[in-house]
Amino acid sequence: MSKSSIHFNISERKILLRIFDVLSILLVLYLVSNFFEFDYFTLTKEKWAWVFVLILYVSIFGTVFELYDLQKSSKIESISTGIVLTVSTTVLFYLLTPFFTPVLPDNRLQILFFYFAILIALFLWRLAYVSFIVSPRFYKKVLLIGETSNIETIVDTFKSSDPNYKIIGFVNCEMDKIEAVKFNAIKEYSPKQIREVIKKENISEIVVASYKSENITSEIYYTLIKLLEEGFPINEYTQVYEEMAQRVPVQFVGKDFYKYFPFSRSNQNKLYLFFHRVFDVIISIVGILIGALFLPIIILGNIIGNRGSLFYSQDRIGKNGKVFRIIKYRTMIKNAEKSGAVWAKKGDVRITPFGKFLRHSRLDEIPQFINILKGDMSLIGPRPERPFFVKELSQMLPFYETRHIVKPGLTGWAQVNTRYAASIDDSLLKLQYDLYYIKHRSFFLDMNVMIKTLSTIIFFRGQ
């Protein structure tokens, strides 16, 4: 057995970041109030509401500006912009919040003390996080057991999902081995070396990635059983993949697919569905009213930049495979598909200059609030696809039509986590995220999607 090592899982690191963001801010504000002429924000039992509101704003805006994205948080240069935006927005909202925050000070210099105290606190803590927590001493070292055909995909997935998750070695579990793995990123070991590697490399987990369990040799099988009986962590690849990447790896799901799709009870929960619909109606009404404010600008831009009809409608597949007409502002030239349906792609020449602005700002989606109000769509769900592409993709991608067991959405888990689908590979990636949403659908995940949607709009990631 390996020596015990310290490793923070994904959820633990996110909690760690949130807790120490708050603690560092409160500590620095306490020190500033004691060593400088600063009394705008003081920590007392009677003023607990001041602290609560500050913590709430830091948490909300930190999420919006991606302070808890583990990939970005692993590099100070990547997270710096998010820190500045979070602190600036937090301080602005805090100063403008009546009753539950301190009265604005007569000496405006105290506002600068408040701002820079929070800014310095976050930068110091995040520097400490990058220097110590995101370092090799806290890496989770993993030994992978699986078939040779999976190795490169698996390594790339783990690398992109969690910078602290390191695959140290690989054991080929196939009975009929053709040749050694030609993959220089990690070292291949023989089944007889499993215990030796665990001890030598201080391995903290074994991940089994096999399409067919019968492929695993009896030698490996009995070694794994013995390790499990000794309390050593052994996990199945799809479970680890889903937890880390927050998507369902449909390409690794076989005939026992029912094991991987215990869909969320929320899909049948009447109370959840009721409040989900109420939320859809309220947001769609607000969206239509806000859209009306932008309408004069959009009409003018369409006349100058698009020179054609303002709206366009198109058949899309909705819940249970029902076809409906989606409404959008037109962003492409006339007769954009005179030769037949084709994938939209980045840098698509069919998109007009004004259409690019509408897509990047997401203003082209505003008319879909009408579809939400009618009940054809929901605010959150898989994006509705065209019948032509649904037919094509369902023949190539396993479980593709499973997306249609819930209403399609204006935004969704796939939309906030990946790029615009312009190929079969992109559609596979989006399908993985869509199935994850359907599987884990809840109020919490819906709120997560809404916050990430704000980040997408703020950082101008639309296409």
Return the pLDDT at 346.
64
Return the pLDDT at 357.
87
Burial 118-151 (b: 16+ CB within 10 A, else e): bbebbbebbeebbeebbeeeebbbbbbbbbbebb
Q: Is residue 250 part of a domain?
A: no
For the segment 130-172, what is each residue's pLDDT rounded down to a tens digit?
988 887 778 888 999 887 676 777 788 887 777 778 888 888 8
Q: Is residue 259 part of a domain?
A: no
184 and 88 within one domain: no
Q: Is residue 258 part of a domain?
A: no
Which of 245, 277, 294 is the last residue in one of the domains?
A: 245
Q: Is residue 2 part of a domain?
A: no
Which of 211, 245, 279 is the last residue in one of the domains?
A: 245
Residue 322 pLDDT grade (very low, low, confident, very high; cuts 50, 70, 90): very high
350 and 382 within one domain: yes
Return the pLDDT at 179.
54
For the segment 261-306, what is each residue's pLDDT rounded down to a tens digit?
777 888 888 999 999 999 999 999 999 999 999 999 999 998 888 8
For the segment 163-211, what is each residue's pLDDT rounded down to a tens digit?
778 888 888 876 555 555 556 668 888 889 999 999 998 898 999 887 6
Return the pLDDT at 306.
80
165 and 80 within one domain: no
211 and 66 within one domain: no
Q: How far is CA 343 from CA 347, 370, 399, 424, in A?
A: 12, 25, 21, 10
C-alpha–C-alpha distance, residues 98 and 95, integer Å: 8
Task: Pull the structure tokens for residue 272.
Answer: 């959840």
For the segment 38-52, what is each residue's pLDDT rounded down to a tens digit?
888 888 777 889 999
Q: pTM of the entire structure?
A: 0.82
Residue 460 pLDDT grade (very low, low, confident, very high; cuts 50, 70, 90): low
C-alpha–C-alpha distance, residues 323 and 385, integer Å: 10
Q: Is residue 365 part of a domain?
A: yes
Q: The domain that contains 199 carries what CATH number?
A: 3.40.50.720
Lowest mean per-residue pLDDT among 86-90, 108-112, 126-130, 305-309: 305-309
376 and 284 within one domain: yes
Q: Is residue 260 part of a domain?
A: no
Lowest mean per-residue pLDDT among 27-41, 45-59, 68-82, 246-260: 246-260
Count of beta carbons in the 10 Å neighbourhood of residue 10: 17
Count of beta carbons in the 10 Å neighbourhood of residue 106: 6
Return the pLDDT at 263.
79
310 and 417 within one domain: yes
Q: Is residue 238 part of a domain?
A: yes
Overall number of domains in the chain: 3
Q: Which domain holds residue 289?
A: 265-458
437 and 315 within one domain: yes
315 and 442 within one domain: yes
Q: What's the residue count for the chain? A: 463
441 and 295 within one domain: yes
Which of 245, 275, 290 is the last residue in one of the domains?
A: 245
Q: Is residue 251 part of a domain?
A: no
97 and 192 within one domain: no
Return the pLDDT at 114.
93
Strand order in the sheet with 205-209: 187-189, 165-172, 140-146, 205-209, 234-236
- Mean pLDDT across the stretch 331-344? 69
238 and 379 within one domain: no
150 and 82 within one domain: no
Share of the chain above pLDDT 70, in %: 90
Return the pLDDT at 229.
92
